[in-house]
Chains A and B, each alone.
Chain A
Amino acid sequence: MIKLIKMPKLSANMESGLLVTLRKQNGDDVQKGDVLFEVETEKVVSEIESEEDGKLVKLYFREGDNVKVDEIIAEIEIAE
């Protein structure tokens, strides 16, 4: 099963975030709790954790891209 990883709304005012670092790349194994990427918003840089075990199979953005809330950043194939 594929899980779509979207840009989270990190604060009530947030409309978009800067994808500063991709900590996982295409093909990387991912465990629950691993940091997938870092997002800079108005106040801080947030390390976004994976909620699933699996494999990252697709990335929709590159480092430095500005991503709107709820836009899909990545796909994770969830381990059965």
Chain B
Amino acid sequence: MGRKLPDWLKVNYNKEAVDEVSHLMADLKLNTVCKEANCPNLGECFKKKTATFMILGSVCTRNCRFCNVSNGHAAEVDPEEPINLALAVKTLGLKHVVITSVTRDDLADGGAAHFASTIEAVRKYNPDTTIEVLIPDLEGVHEHLDIVINANPNVINHNIETVKYLYADVRPQADYERSLHVLKYVKEKAPDIITKTGIMVGLGETDEQVYEVMDDCLKVNCDIFTIGQYLRPSENHIELKEYVTPEKFEEYKKVGQEKGFKYIASGPLVRSSYKAEEASGVFNKEK
């Protein structure tokens, strides 16, 4: 086996720091998307004692071809998860927390009420912590989106994930227009909530297709846009077409800023919740 990765995909790993955060999560029966999705930034984030929580279990009811999270029969919802998560936020002393979930098409509300309970618990025990939720599309159902919106998180993120033309291959159980509609609806219903989305590149998309996604997201007044390299979790996942260079990521960032995003993060190891505190901080300063 020879070396195959470019130099810029280098991360730090400190076992002690990783073990410490991992044990806290295990003790409180919590999942992180960092671990379940095999995130390349896990070492760096856990060293800084930050993590992205994944609620509603670790098994997803969809099977997106880029994602490392297991799919299948989803677990029972843990009613103690909101309070346990709130306690973990307190223990870690997080100023900004990102909460995501597996997709739960099996639940009547897609898990919206559990998101709301979690937001409320975090706020109760951590009144100074800003809250970002990275939600599934909730099948675009307004009543379900309203439940999350009414819990009033600071940021609602819903990832569009890829360009329109690759949806059938990358997200066969999702819909590009539906995801755009989620972002549109949130902004119309709650203009004060920061909206955020992101894509992976390296799946064979063209620059023009990337810029088209940016334009579509700006049309629905999305505030923050993130772009990162797709990294194939295993040979069973969708093929990686290219390693996009850091220079190209810079170009995407520049174009995105010129087009009008309020904040854009673009780099090989950028993930939607990577340095999320920094992104949301831009808005706090504006207030």
Contacts and interface: CB of A to CB of B under 8 A. Distances in A.
Nearest to A10: B13
Contacts of A12: 35-36, 38
B10 A44 contact: yes
Contacts of B232: 42-43
Contacts of B233: 13, 42-43
Interface string B208-234: 000000000000000000000001111
A44 B9 contact: yes
A38 to B, nearest CB: 7
Given A20-B3, A40-B4, A42-B232, A47 B13 contact: yes
A38 B9 CA distance: 12
A57 interface: no
A18 interface: yes
Interface residues of A, number: 22
Contacts of A38: 10
A69 B231 CA distance: 21
Contacts of A8: 13, 15
B108 interface: no
B43 interface: yes
A56 B12 CA distance: 20
Given A13-B234, A18-B1, A66-B1, A43 B40 contact: yes
Interface string A47-68: 1110100000000000010100
A49 B4 contact: no
Interface of A: 8, 10-13, 18, 20, 33, 35, 38, 40, 42-49, 51, 64, 66
6 contacts: A44-B5, A45-B9, A47-B11, A48-B15, A49-B12, A66-B1
